[in-house]
Structure 1
């Protein structure tokens, strides 16, 4: 039985992990978070957005690797949207999974922040 507890514990730790890769393309900072964005992991995305804001006022967050997002993630995105807009830039969201898109729609974030089906669309608009 202890093996099952260890396996469950490892899965819980993996769910709490969020990695955020950053690249720049034609003056646009592209962030690629992977994992779950919640109250345990939201600071990783917040930090990446803060760094992006200092480097580029135009940011795309590619949500294709995000498996779950709660209100903590929503708050991080809204705060970044406001900060980037005040800096004369913008925030766009790309490729949200169905689960993440549903969350964005329920709270109306998709009406505030531009959401695109693909990264290519987010970069082209």
Structure 2
């Protein structure tokens, strides 16, 4: 696969062909009339793509605060990805983080653990973690486990940024 084709992998492209993991694509120079192609991938790549399909992450800076926007499901397969984006990897990164969960439809205890660890790390670095926009199902989990009194939870990103 060429680099340009890798960058255009669409959600749902991971499949199997002749019993092996493959990526399916019709994107050859953007011509959908081309026949469907199967690109074989090794298991670790297939696993990474499966995680990426379950949880997508984007982040941006707003007035020195890192806003991490999450979409998909947070479970044991995505906990490392979540921890990586919540905890800054460089010393210069802002120790203040807002996690936008508006696009998260499911979260299990692995996600809770990642949030608690990130909260502890950021607090020790004289920063903070705030959760924003959690859907009702995720909000219920945060409340039942008792995360909401520990980590500030807000209905919107704007409120989390301005508190």
- Please give the range of the TM-score, normalised by the shorter of the 2 chains: 0.7 to 0.9
CA RMSD, 1 decimal: 1.8
Q: Partner of 1:102: helix, strand, or coil?
A: helix
Q: Which runs of 5+ in 2 are unaligned?
A: 1-14, 16-49
> What is the rounded CA distance, in whole Å, between the counterparts of 1:35 and 1:27 in structure 2?
26
| Conservation of the 8 A alpha-carbon contact between 2:129 and 2:152 | yes
For residues 1-125 of structure 1, the aligned pairs below 5 Å read 17-51=54-88, 54=91, 55-125=93-163
Larger relative contact order (CA 8 Å, sep ≥ 6) = 1
TM-score by length of 2: 0.66
- Deviation readout 1:28-72 (Å, 9 max, x if unpaired): 000001100000111111111123674111000000010100000
Aligned length: 114
CA distance change for structure 1 residues 16 and 70 in 2, over 3 Å: closer, same or farther?
Answer: farther
Q: Find the structure with the greater CA-based Rg.
A: 2
Higher helix share: 1
TM-score by length of 1: 0.85
